[in-house]
Amino acid sequence: MRRPRRTDSPKIIALIIGSKRTSLAKALSLWVSRRPPYESNQVMKPIRPAPLLTTPPVPLDGPVRCPLPQSTSAPRANPASPAQPVAPFPVDIYADDVRIYLRAELPGVTPATLQIHPHAGHLTVFACAKALPSAGPTSEHVFGRLIALPDCETSATLISTDYALGILTLVLSCAKDPELRPIAIPVN
């Protein structure tokens, strides 16, 4: 008996699904052919998930509203107005044996408005960008992002914060889960 080839896939799949819809069979065949070849002696390597970097649809600690600029003395007309749209920002993450270093591009931010909240394996960063002098308070906007910390299952501890040239640098320490911590086993 002839060994089935890859070109036979549409016919085989059409037989299996009992249908004469060759387009469906071809689509399934294409999906099968694009799968990576599996070898029986292949060792499946554990996949390390990439850091999850997403923008939260809503801030975790309630809506963020940037304060009005200093030049405007009148209070906000409607304090219950919806929160300003949150803009994401680029983040670089570095690490060494004990600490996590995070560099975020946040140009034109008022350092006093920085909100950094570490929580289980994640970090939330919010900041208000200064309003343009000529564009008025409408040009003010909020930077915000939820950042997953690599290899950090517990809540990280914020060690230091530095803001210079529009770049926020955070140094964090993450207490490793006891089950994930490497244990040295003495060999006699």
Q: Which residue among 7, 43, 96, 187 contacts another protein (CB under 8 A)? A: 96
Pair of tokens at residue 52? 């999850």
Check residue 93 for interaction with another protein (CB under 8 A). Answer: yes
Element containing residue 30 per DSSP (H, E): helix 22-34
Q: Which residue among 53, 60, 159, 180 contacts another protein (CB under 8 A)? A: 53
Cα–Cα distances in Å, from 149 out to 10, 21, 115, 131, 178?
45, 48, 17, 31, 17
Check residue 65 for interaction with another protein (CB under 8 A). Answer: no
How does 48-74 read in b/e, with b if 16+ C-beta sit within 10 Å? eeeeeeeeeeebeeeebbbeebeeeee
Residue 25 vs 89, nearer CB to another protein: 89
Q: Which residue among 1, 43, 47, 50 contacts another protein (CB under 8 A)? A: 50
Q: Which residue among 13, 64, 86, 106 contacts another protein (CB under 8 A)? A: 106
Q: Which residue among 64, 91, 123, 174 contacts another protein (CB under 8 A)? A: 91
Check residue 167 for interaction with another protein (CB under 8 A). Answer: yes
Burial class (CB in 10 A: 0-12, 13-18, 19+), 139: middle
Residue 63 vs 136, nearer CB to another protein: 136
Stretch that binds another protein, among 20-28, 64-72, 158-166, 177-185 (CB under 8 A): 158-166
Judge contact between 116 and 125, C-beta under 8 A: yes
- Rg for the chain, CA atoms, rounded: 26
Of 153, 50, 151, residue with least CA distance to 100: 151
Residue 28 vs 84, nearer CB to another protein: 84
Check residue 56 for interaction with another protein (CB under 8 A). Answer: no
Q: Which residue among 101, 113, 137, 161 contacts another protein (CB under 8 A)? A: 101
CA distance 132 to 105: 18
* Residue ranges binding another protein (CB under 8 A): 50-51, 53, 90-96, 100-101, 103, 105-109, 130, 132-135, 139, 150, 163, 165-167
